[in-house]
């Protein structure tokens, strides 16, 4: 694939070197097009050495090749990282004062912007208006990550990690030919992932084997399809997906509170987290010690049923609610019973145990619909399963 990597004039430009490496090591041809000011952060010699291609910032070099037209026309994917407030403003206005903005006008392939700037700049109404305009043109503008910025500042505006941007960009390119490429644009979705933990004492807990991979795949694919995504993650060790706002949770009650707080703004809620059904009734305030005598039994009480509560208090008309059921034995019979009991719109049922589902890179499932439908998803990458789930969600969302 022929990729154009546009580089804006921000300190995060150094991270684009790693992004370039990921693309080239995956076998893609990458042409780096920096803005003139970005060369103050990373020089043209670095880009040329890493990409094996010239890296020029103006349209007045190699004029006989008409680079301001040809580079964009020939590209299969354009990704701008970092995309500064100034660069996005010029792109949104259709200005073409340097080679990169000219390329952005001539590109007819998927275009991905990865903003990076200080929080105040990102949140300014002018920047938000420019982001909305770029999205209206069909571009995918990835939400920035939250974290440490330049100096001591911290907040939204951090460039997502290169590996996550790499995955998002390739996913956008893969979906470019699909009619549903950015079908979630303008939608807000909420996803839960991971496994909750219930304290026994300050050291031990009751937990489960969920890694969070399927929930993270759901969040990442939704972001690559244009959605505004919040991920409530319970005890995961995975990197934050690019373009996804991540909220941390620990116990079932903690996850419940955070899910309900976010659900009011969501067009769809997908509960992929493995939420503990029970918790110790009286967690010990100190570590339970061996005494030589049989330990006291741990009394359990039921946790809140988050999925059922979401359905009972559905935040808005037309909100689509999706549950997950990890089952053993007759998984379809258990799934149908759970769908009837919970009342959600879709239930993703998969078999677990013996190396299936938990902690693996692939998954298979049957999606049961409240309308009686059954959609079988063959074993494959968890991202592929996630795309099918979002297809089913979109088919149930009211038209805007």
Which residues are identified as catalytic? 208
What sections of the chain are H helices per DSSP? 13-25, 44-51, 67-74, 85-92, 99-106, 119-123, 125-136, 162-174, 213-224, 252-263, 306-312, 331-342, 382-396
* Closest among 117, 118, 111 to 133, alpha carbons compared: 111
Residues 6+ apart with CB under 8 A from 289: none
Contact 111, 71 (CB under 8 A): no
Q: Which residues pair with 188 in a beta bridge?
A: 228
95 vs 318: CA distance, rounded Å: 40
Q: What one-character DSSP code corresponds to residue 227?
A: -
Contact 207, 195 (CB under 8 A): yes
Which phi-psi region, left, alpha or beta, contains residue 240 (left: φ > 0; alpha: ψ -120 to 50)?
Answer: beta
Sign of CA dihedral 149, 42, 245, 275: negative
212 vs 164: CA distance, rounded Å: 16
Phi, psi of 375 (to 5 degrees): -120, 115
User: Residue 242 burial (CB < 10 Å; 0-12/13-18/19+)?
Assistant: buried
Instruction: Write b or e for each residue in 110-124: b if 16 or more Cβ atoms lie within 10 A of its Cβ, otherwise e.
Output: bbbbbbbbbbeebee
Q: What one-character DSSP code corresponds to residue 325?
A: E
């Amino acid at each position: 694939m022929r990729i154009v990597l546009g580089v804006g004039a921000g300190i995060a430009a150094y991270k684009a070197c790693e992004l370039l490496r990921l693309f080239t090591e995956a076998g893609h041809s990458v042409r780096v097009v920096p803005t003139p000011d970005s060369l103050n952060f990373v020089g043209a010699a670095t880009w040329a050495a890493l990409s094996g291609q010239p890296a020029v910032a103006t349209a007045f070099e190699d004029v006989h090749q008409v680079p301001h037209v040809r580079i964009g026309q020939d590209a299969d994917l354009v990704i701008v990282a970092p995309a500064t407030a100034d660069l996005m403003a010029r792109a949104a206005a259709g200005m073409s004062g340097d080679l990169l903005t000219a390329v952005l006008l001539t590109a007819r392939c998927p275009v991905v912007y990865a903003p990076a700037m200080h929080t105040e700049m990102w949140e300014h109404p002018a920047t938000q208006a420019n982001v909305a305009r770029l999205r209206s043109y069909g571009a995918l503008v990835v939400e920035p990550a939250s974290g440490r910025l330049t100096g001591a500042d911290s907040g939204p505006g951090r460039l997502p990690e290169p590996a996550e941007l790499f995955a998002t960009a390739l996913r956008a390119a893969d979906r470019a030919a699909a009619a549903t490429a950015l079908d979630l644009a303008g939608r807000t979705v909420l996803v839960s992932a991971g496994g909750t933990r219930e304290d026994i004492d300050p050291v031990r807990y009751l937990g489960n084997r969920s890694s969070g991979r399927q929930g993270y795949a759901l969040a990442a694919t939704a972001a690559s399809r244009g959605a505004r995504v919040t991920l409530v993650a319970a005890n995961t060790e995975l990197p934050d997906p690019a373009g996804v706002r991540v909220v941390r949770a620990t116990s079932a009650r903690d996850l419940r509170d955070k899910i309900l707080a976010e659900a009011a703004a969501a067009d769809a809620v997908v509960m992929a987290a493995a939420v503990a059904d029970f918790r110790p009734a009286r967690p010990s305030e100190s570590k339970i010690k061996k005494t030589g005598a049989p330990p006291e039994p741990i009394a359990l009480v039921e946790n809140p049923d988050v999925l059922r509560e979401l359905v009972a208090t559905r935040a808005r008309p037309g909100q689509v609610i999706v549950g997950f059921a990890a089952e053993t034995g007759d998984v379809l019979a258990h799934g149908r019973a759970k769908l009837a009991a919970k009342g959600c719109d879709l239930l993703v049922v998969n078999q677990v145990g013996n190396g299936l589902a938990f902690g693996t890179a692939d998954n298979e499932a049957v999606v049961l619909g409240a309308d009686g439908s059954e959609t079988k998803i063959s074993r494959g990458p968890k991202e592929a399963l996630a795309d099918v789930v979002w297809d089913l969600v979109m088919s149930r969302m009211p038209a805007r």
